Amino acid sequence: MLFSELAKYYEKLEATSSRLGMIDIFAEALKSASVEEIDKIIYMTQGVLAPAFDGIEFGLAEKMAEEAIAIATGYTKEETDRDYKKSGDLGITAENLKSKSKLKPMLQKKYTVIEVYNTMKKISETSGSGSKDIKIRLLSELIASSAGIEARYLVRYPLGQLRLGLGDATILESLSIAKTGSRVEKETLERAYNLCSDLGYVGKELFEGGIGRVRNFKVAMFKPIRPALAERLPTAEEILKKMGGRCAVEQKYDGFRCQVHMHGKKVRIFSRRLEDTTQMFPDIADAALKEVHSDDIIFEGEALAYNEATGEFLPFQETIQRKRKHEIGKKAIELPLHLIAFDLMYANGKSYMNEEYETRRKMLEKLLEGSTTIIPSNRIITDSSKEMEEFFEASVENGLEGIVAKDLKAPYIAGARKFSWIKMKRSYKGELSDTIDVAIVGYYLGRGSRASFKFGGLLCAVYNKKRDMFETISRLGSGFTEKQMSELEELLSKIKTQAKPARVDSLVKPDFWVYPKYVVTVRADEITKSPMHTCGREKQEDGTEAGYALRFPRLVGEEAIRSDKSVEEVNQTSEIIEMYKMQKKVRVEG
């Protein structure tokens, strides 16, 4: 496929205001691609070169893209910059200047999708002295031979500003339609995706081996499994009832979730967000090699610091120091970390994904026998709500977050929040016990005392998985530091749009819309009903319509703006509804 053809599909995608329209357009694009092109087209459309866990970055700054545009069109850097100030979008500037290029038209080479992808890969791989000029030259060559509209996407792609608005679910549905003519295989594809976190790979397997191959998809070493997640309930009685009268109850540790893959001498550790964080945990990687009795294994646990002298787990804030990438070696000595293992997915050449929890747990204990750095989580098996309650209280007294109850018979359910795991956490007076992750879908200009700022707050949404839509839940105007405000203004102004993005459902209109791309973590006092928001919106007893909203939301912490988390991983509408129901019964600690 020529890149110019793909660019035409992108133009259509950008113009459509309906989610179903997006799926049909992208399915058409996939249908006209060859097997070799599928994974590349998927990565390109996601705005990446490889799955996120590979951590590959373009390393191309805006100034460099401006220079590439200038070289390819014969304008000066200043003229290019002036056009950018006007358009607010370097892709549009590239397209503008290309259409009135000052250079003599030359014989144009028509690049294929694969050629463009390979050049972009080269741009990302070029490093060291002189690399800046090489990157600029590679990009300018592509722009020089493009005919207008392609230039828009050639520039936006390496800057991470495609503005297409397709999410994982949208891509999976398009794949199903492109290959089978209907949406029904979306779930089969999603299951495969949950096992490998790599949409390009799933697409390639589908196009190469048909849906049969995708049905037989297995976990793969060094491709992270999307983590199982826990539902929540407020009391031990309710948990036991839901679990059929008997279950395992593990302590809930508040550290870093680690998914460890080990094969031969190679170890990779993935975070809850599926980033490769191996270099942050040298002592755990080392222990995996030395202490685990298996040649290959995939298992997970919570990494946290532990004070050997007092036998206490250190608070989250102290553990977090470890996360800072600097001085890892030194910190490893000062704060030895432990990995509290709680699940097993693969060992000795066998997948444990479909085995019952109790089987996985027993095997995990066997493989960790005698280990000291990696130890199995503390747990009980009980049919008594009183015993569960006592275990919960003891955990909280030990400075832990609470408990996670586990269904003894359940398989490992990748990438989903299910009642096979149920958490119960301590909560504080006047606050929701959980922070909430929301997607930014719009923003406001400063008003009143903030009138001089280009940033006055956010419009936030949660994800409705069934509808594959983002539903608004709150305006967010407090908790920002000045640094965060200017950071947000800078990030968001680059992806703002005039029209509401196709997958956003909103009754309020912010000053600017943005494609769901960034995630922020907020804390709120409670969840309330509101006629203004679309989260879980439905008819009320009095005949009016209302959705759910956050009361007194504020941004929390220095690391509240998270570009590491994909927008589909924010809290879901169904969770918000559950939290709302739970609020009424919630336990309160003094």
Question: Any binding-site annotation on 241?
Answer: no
- Select 64 or 413, whichever has its Cβ closest to ligand ATP: 413
- Select 252 or 360, whichever has its Cβ closest to ligand ATP: 252
CA 225 – CA 276 distance, rounded (Å)? 12
Q: How far is the CB of 361 from ligand ATP (least distance, A)?
A: 11
| 43 DSSP β-pair partners | none
Of 190, 205, 302, 471, which lies in the binding site for ligand ATP, with binding defined by CB under 6 A? 302
Dihedral (Cα; 100, 103, 104, 105), 10-degree rounding:
-60
Does residue number 444 form part of the binding site for ligand ATP (CB under 6 A)? no
Q: How far is the CB of 179 from ligand ATP (least distance, A)?
A: 32
10 Å CB burial of residue 554 (0-12, 13-18, 19+) is: middle
Does residue number 404 form part of the binding site for ligand ATP (CB under 6 A)? yes
Of 8, 137, 183, 257, which lies in the binding site for ligand ATP, with binding defined by CB under 6 A? 257
Site for ligand ATP in 356-395 (CB under 6 A): 377
Of 66, 150, 190, 250, which lies in the binding site for ligand ATP, with binding defined by CB under 6 A? 250
Q: Answer yes or no: 252 catalytic.
A: yes
What one-letter code names the amino acid at 145? S
Which of these segments, 1-9, 127-135, 252-260, 449-457, binds ligand ATP (CB under 6 A)?
252-260
Does residue number 420 form part of the binding site for ligand ATP (CB under 6 A)? no
- Select 445 or 586, whichever has its Cβ closest to ligand ATP: 586
Does residue number 229 form part of the binding site for ligand ATP (CB under 6 A)? yes
Question: Any binding-site annotation on 256?
Answer: no
Of 98, 252, 331, 494, which lies in the binding site for ligand ATP, with binding defined by CB under 6 A? 252
Question: Any binding-site annotation on 272?
Answer: yes
- Select 205 or 569, whichever has its Cβ closest to ligand ATP: 569
Question: Any binding-site annotation on 232?
Answer: no
CB atoms within 10 A of CB 265: 6
CA 462 – CA 75 distance, rounded (Å)? 43
Site for ligand ATP in 11-50 (CB under 6 A): none
Residue pair 173/199 in contact by the 8 Å Cβ criterion: no
3-state secondary structure of 528: strand
Q: How far is the CB of 473 from ligand ATP (least distance, A)?
A: 16
Q: How far is the CB of 512 from ligand ATP (least distance, A)?
A: 29
The structure tokens 């600017």 sit at 512
Q: How far is the CB of 234 from ligand ATP (least distance, A)?
A: 14
Vertex 200 angle, CA 198 and 204, to 5°: 120
| 407: its two tokens | 């269904």
Does residue number 271 form part of the binding site for ligand ATP (CB under 6 A)? no
Number of residues in contact with ligand ATP, rule: CB under 6 A?
13
Q: Which residues contact 532 (CB under 8 A, 6 or more apart)?
A: 472, 507, 508, 547, 549
CA 521 – CA 479 distance, rounded (Å)? 11
CB atoms within 10 A of CB 547: 21
Of 230, 240, 303, 438, which lies in the binding site for ligand ATP, with binding defined by CB under 6 A? 230
Of 111, 117, 253, 513, which lies in the binding site for ligand ATP, with binding defined by CB under 6 A? 253
Q: What is the DSSP string of 473-515?
A: EEEE-SS--HHHHHHHHHHHHTSEESSPPTTEE-SS--SEEE-
Q: In terms of Cα–Cα distance, which of 319, 365, 313, 315 is closest to 344? A: 365
The structure tokens 């998809």 sit at 217
List 252, 494, 517, 565, catalytic entry: 252
CA distances from 373 to 263, 308, 314, 368, 506 (A): 19, 12, 15, 10, 49
Q: What are phi and psi of 75, to 5 degrees?
A: -85, 160
Q: Where along the sequence are the contacts to ligand ATP (CB under 6 A)?
A: 229-230, 250, 252-253, 257, 272, 302, 342, 377, 404, 423, 434
List binding-site positions: 250, 257, 272, 302, 342, 417, 423
Q: Looking at the annotation, which residues are catalytic?
A: 252
List binding-site positions for ATP: 250, 257, 272, 302, 342, 417, 423
